[in-house]
Chains A and B, each alone.
Chain A
């Protein structure tokens, strides 16, 4: 069954076409890869799904319902979360606070209750804190809980962003280059985390440049080039596809 359905998606910035008539489906509980050379439109597509951008044409459906009428902040409530390529963390807040804020919308008692510090307000805070502590333990971040995010190395900040996205127990997780800037060992750990997420019933859409990671975890892959879909299929098929090889030639030759 398809969880996310992208159909005929196009978007242009000042006349420049970033996506042109892209369609594909993401099935429930799969790990889905979205790859392509730099500037192919992967992040743009992710930004359309997460409602940072509004496409010029086309439709995005989640469980059959259009997302185009929704605002950014409504998506977590529907079960959709994302991470950012260049990290969008609350840099001056602690790791634990970042994760708590990832679920604050769910546990918040309401402004009136919070002003008067009613029992419901304190309860929500406690539950959000408990949820954050659980996640920090699972993701190996407990020792950093009280540290200010900006004081941590890049790789750990990436994990913090992941933890924050998981705080509200999403069904669909959009990861924008989770392994960027990581060494092979860290990147392998990201792969293991992604597989573990799928075991918990989370569908993952992975935008990534690290081909070894993509080929090892994704079940299906869509390849974009110059805003158009040039290939769709399992890793073996994508790896052998002549247009894909052509698109990547002359680009960096990573492991493709």
Chain B
């Protein structure tokens, strides 16, 4: 079988990801694992914003539901880690479907505000519901373990997250090229034309929200086990906005873009920390330059040359 340039690029990318943690410190492993956790969120925004054209500035809400859902499943009900991830995803996904209901009536700014309000409510409820979530005390999350074997360090956890990310990227990639994914994009281009062509807006938008929230929830579940302790402050408006930024910076049109976006969000604070007071200025400058010169995100650095 001949190997095309695309397959070669993909293999090289996966190989690079597999070798990335070698020779790095514990902290390096932690940053790499964080990259993948964020990349899952970027993937989820890829589905919602990139394919369906629906905005969400409340993804921290779904992320929180996944994190708390899985942590409580593990702590209170003794659900094993690998299943708890799905519990987190399903809890978030169910709320995603609910948020889609108002999204069917509103769009643009109004949808943005609705999703924002949703995330704020989630954060507040998690904070107040002390008996279940630990409230201001926070919630301890056990180390991830697979089939009874604890993933004691982030080095091992990174490989688990890599497998999970690749699986999820495979799903969203399948979706992008399928008739369902293309129907979503058709709705984005012209809702009237798409509906006149037999595409149900309600069904597709609910599906996009549910899937996107599910992926964000899975990410949240993985995040909890990475950090080891959940605190509601993490799931703020700032987090929602950072997610949106990284998804756009990475590139909404591809799985590689999601990964680059995740890397951007995980690495930028590390790199910029040296700059002390100037860091927000430089961060802002990077964003402006990216929007100006790479409107399709960092991913276009790789794809434009291929065409």
Contacts and interface: CB of A to CB of B under 8 A. Distances in A.
Contacts of B229: none
Contact of B174 (A81, A84, A89, A115): A115
Interface stretch (B11-19, B66-74, B177-185): B177-185
Nearest to A129: B179
B183 A50 contact: no
A111 B207 contact: yes
Contact of B182 (A50, A97, A110): A97
B198 A77 contact: yes
B140 interface: no
A124 interface: yes
Contacts of B174: 114-117, 121
A52 B183 CA distance: 19
Given A104-B186, A105-B199, A114-B179, A89 B193 contact: yes
A107 B179 CA distance: 8
A74 to B, nearest CB: 8
B278 interface: no
Contacts of A111: 175, 180, 207, 211
Residue from B178, B181, B182 whose CB has the most chain A CB atoms within 10 Å: B178
A72 B179 contact: no
A73 B207 contact: no
A105 B189 contact: no
B289 interface: no
Residue from B175, B179, B183, B200 whose CB has the most chain A CB atoms within 10 Å: B179
B183 A101 contact: yes
A192 to B, nearest CB: 25
Nearest to A116: B174
A212 B199 CA distance: 35
A9 interface: no
Given A90-B190, A114-B178, A116-B171, A104 B183 contact: yes
Given A90-B189, A115-B171, A116-B174, A100 B182 contact: yes
B207 A88 contact: no
A40 to B, nearest CB: 22
Task: Bin the interface of chain B by size.
Answer: 20 to 34
Nearest to A125: B179
A101 B199 contact: yes
B216 to A, nearest CB: 16
Interface string A78-105: 0001101000111111000100111111
Interface in A149-180: 164, 167-168
A52 B192 CA distance: 8
A76 B179 contact: no
Contacts of A73: 194-196, 198-201
B22 interface: no
Task: Bin the interface of chain A by size.
Answer: 35 or more
Given A100-B182, A101-B183, A114-B179, A76 B189 contact: no
B179 A104 contact: yes
A46 B37 CA distance: 50
A128 interface: yes
A71 B201 CA distance: 10
A131 interface: no
Contact of A90 (B175, B179, B181, B186): B186
A106 interface: yes
Nearest to A109: B179
A171 to B, nearest CB: 14
Contacts of B192: 52, 72, 84, 88
A167 B197 CA distance: 9
A90 B199 CA distance: 13
Contact of A121 (B178, B186, B196, B200): B178
A89 B186 contact: no
A100 B211 CA distance: 24
B241 to A, nearest CB: 27
Contacts of A128: 179
Given A125-B178, A125-B179, A101 B196 contact: no
Nearest to B178: A114
A105 B196 contact: no
Contacts of A144: none
B193 A124 contact: no
11 contacts: A82-B196, A84-B192, A88-B190, A91-B190, A101-B183, A104-B199, A108-B183, A109-B179, A114-B175, A115-B175, A164-B197
- Which 8 A-B pairs give the minimum distances between C-beta atoms? A105-B198, A76-B198, A114-B178, A88-B193, A114-B180, A117-B174, A72-B195, A108-B179
Given A91-B190, A101-B197, 14 more contacts: A72-B195, A73-B200, A73-B201, A74-B198, A102-B197, A104-B179, A104-B183, A104-B197, A108-B180, A110-B180, A111-B207, A114-B175, A121-B174, A168-B197
